[in-house]
Chain A
Amino acid sequence: MKAFLSVALYRFKSFYRDTFTFFFSLILPIIFAVIFGFVFGGSGGMNSGQSTIKIGIVKDDEILIKVVERIEGLNISIVKHSDELKNLVLKGSLDAGILFDGKTFNLIINFSSFQQKPFLRTLGDTIANAYSLQEAGIEEGFIRIEEEFIDPGKARVSNLGYMIPGIMSFSVASSIFSMIALFGYYRKRKVLKRFAVSPINPFSFVLGMVMGNFLISILSSLFVLFFVQIIFNITFYISWKYLLLSLSSSILGMMAFGIFLTALFKEPQTANNVGNLLLNIMIFFSGIYFPLDFLPDYLKTFGKILPLYYVAKALRISVGVEEGTPNFIFTMSIIMISAFIILVSLFGKNILQLEDK
């Protein structure tokens, strides 16, 4: 126990004195959060007010203008020609444009805006319906469009708020590399050799190192969470119990995976490359940075077999941006902790066996 605590303490000390590693572990996720914050419109909190949708209509379509003007939440721009309308949408000055030739509504959407505001597709249907009702003589009353977030969790947050648990899970997944960096490079630099000639139990050593890094990863994730809440005025409804359970278990699971890669590949660079590849695949298919709904069904299924999908989901549930049951978090945590116990039991004891074949 003394050896375990000592290794954990000094690992932690060596980390926070290492500016480079400190930067990548704590500051990089913050930089990600800031970049995404600005990409997705800065202040991400719903408290900051309702956003409007900029719609363009060609000026000679008076009935259409009348119909659209009655719809709340739309900012209408009247343009002279359809070409000008398309150009403004393309440049991003307008979110969408509507053209009506008497028979068909054409909703003109810039693909990049569509990714950010998928509800634009339904806007076209709504306007078409409103137009039909106008034609039928029903002018007032019940046709309204409001941009309303149907919050799956308790917290009412924007895209950024929804994405923050994803950034935290990126930070969690980076624990893979912390283990490769520790054990792989320590082995290559022959740091482990000094420990191997001492009477320390290999599990005390591995768990001590894991604990040092575990604290760092927890701090890094919580740092992101606090930082974005302050900077972007987002309010999460955090369940600390579930958040700490989700974070701890997923960090341990990811670390165990890093230990597994270190045991599998003698060259830390190879382990790092494999880890990087897997992390990118997991990030891409785990719905961290964009909704999985864009993907074909078979890729959605693939995403759902990757652990990061569940890590991100558990974190979203824990901070209240997604509906979910405690059972989901418990199940995920049990699987992650079991993976940690199994992989560390299998490979941890060999960490200090350094013999070259």
Chain B
Amino acid sequence: MNSYKFIVEVEDLRKTYGNVKAVDGVSFKIKQGSIFTLLGPNGAGKTTTLEIIEGLRTPDSGKIKIFGKEVKKIGREEKELIGVALQETQLISHLTVKETLSMFRSFYSRGLKVDDVLEFVNLKDKAKSHVDKLSGGQKQRLAIGLALINDPLLLFLDEPTTGLDPQARRSVWDLLLQLKKQGKTIVLTTHYMEEAEFLADWVCIMDNGKIIREGTPEDLIKSIGGESVIEVDVEESQSFLNKLKELEINYTYNPKHGRLLVKTNNVLETIDSILKIARECSVRVRNEIIRQPNLEDVFLTLTGRQLREE
């Protein structure tokens, strides 16, 4: 392999399906040894972008440089060095966890011992279980195990924690941090802002096929201002919303969830004002939260929508 500064470089990547621009001029660079995250709602173009780099899809245009080598579509040589955990990993039924890992291990010229991988993903006691019998978290850990079987330099993980309970999600996060410590580069897609905040060194926020902002999680949050965020549940009321406008505060109201988000530097005064107009309009206000801004707020500021709305 050639020497390279960035392990992956993507320039003006485009992919259209009919009238839908799934990926619309995406460019980014990934540093070796980092956790790079594509954050965005469902349908933002994260998976399509990732699958183009993984060689599952062919771009309409754009450049991909992987391991310092420009490729139209990655070949066997690059596949030997990458590991992929798909958004939904489906495997051959009636094979055991160990057999599945052994089969995929045989496709690579180099890699780890199956038992070591089983131990790393904490599936040693499930080695003889059929893959169909695994729980969601165990399946996800097996998917990561399969991605690791060739001891790759670069890992692509497409929404590795979607559908998992908090405990299982946390266990996957721990695995990913261990992998980062081993020097592996991880490319992650997620629509969980907590995941991106917790794991990522660099975040690209995607929406409608485009990268709308990128940076470290801290820089992205700082970019929308250091104000606190007040979240409250409010019944929908036109008079309340009209009066809210008169307050001249920076707010977003999601009628679907009845959730009001207000960014402010003056928390107490703002809460007082909201409660006052709520009383005037006979509107119930519940579940008040005061917190620091996060990536969810960054997305909200940039798009006017919440990540989880989608």
Contacts and interface: CB of A to CB of B under 8 A. Distances in A.
Given A11-B92, A18-B93, A197 B104 contact: no
Nearest to B58: A355
A201 B92 CA distance: 18
A198 B104 contact: yes
A198 B108 contact: yes
Contact of A199 (B80, B89, B94): B80
Chain A at the B interface: mostly helix, strand, loop or mixed?
A: helix
Contact of A10 (B55, B79, B88, B103): B103
A178 to B, nearest CB: 14
B92 A10 contact: yes
Given A190-B88, A198-B108, A14 B94 contact: yes
A80 interface: no
Interface string A1-18: 011011100110111011
A197 B92 CA distance: 15
A61 B84 CA distance: 90
A194 interface: yes
A74 to B, nearest CB: 58
B90 A194 contact: yes
Contacts of A196: 55-56
A354 B82 CA distance: 19
Contact of B95 (A2, A5, A13, A186): A13
Given A3-B107, A199-B79, A190 B90 contact: yes
Contacts of A18: 93-94
B29 to A, nearest CB: 22
B86 interface: yes
Interface string B87-129: 0111111110001101110111000000000000000000000
Interface in B15-61: 17, 54-58
Given A18-B93, A190-B90, A200 B107 contact: yes
A197 B47 CA distance: 14
A189 interface: yes
B91 A355 contact: no
Given A197-B55, A198-B107, A13 B99 contact: yes
B84 A197 contact: yes
Interface residues of B, number: 30
A194 B58 contact: no
B66 interface: no
Nearest to A205: B107
Interface in A228-281: none
B76 interface: yes
Nearest to B147: A197
Contacts of B76: 199, 201
B221 interface: no
B269 to A, nearest CB: 54
Nearest to B102: A6
A305 interface: no
Nearest to A18: B94
Nearest to A197: B84
Given A11-B92, A14-B92, A193 B108 contact: no
Contacts of B206: none
B107 A193 contact: no
B56 A191 contact: no
Contacts of A11: 92
A194 B91 contact: yes
Contacts of A199: 76, 79-80, 107-108
B7 interface: no
B146 interface: yes
Contacts of A357: 17
Contacts of B95: 10, 13-14, 17
Contacts of B107: 3, 6, 198-200
B79 A198 contact: yes
Interface of A: 2-3, 5-7, 10-11, 13-15, 17-18, 186, 189-191, 193-194, 196-201, 354-357
Sorted nearest first, the 6 A-B pairs with minimum C-beta distance are A6-B106, A199-B79, A17-B94, A197-B84, A14-B94, A200-B107
5 contacts: A10-B102, A14-B93, A194-B89, A197-B79, A355-B58
Given A11-B92, A354-B56, 10 more contacts: A3-B106, A6-B102, A6-B106, A190-B88, A191-B90, A194-B89, A197-B56, A197-B86, A198-B79, A198-B104
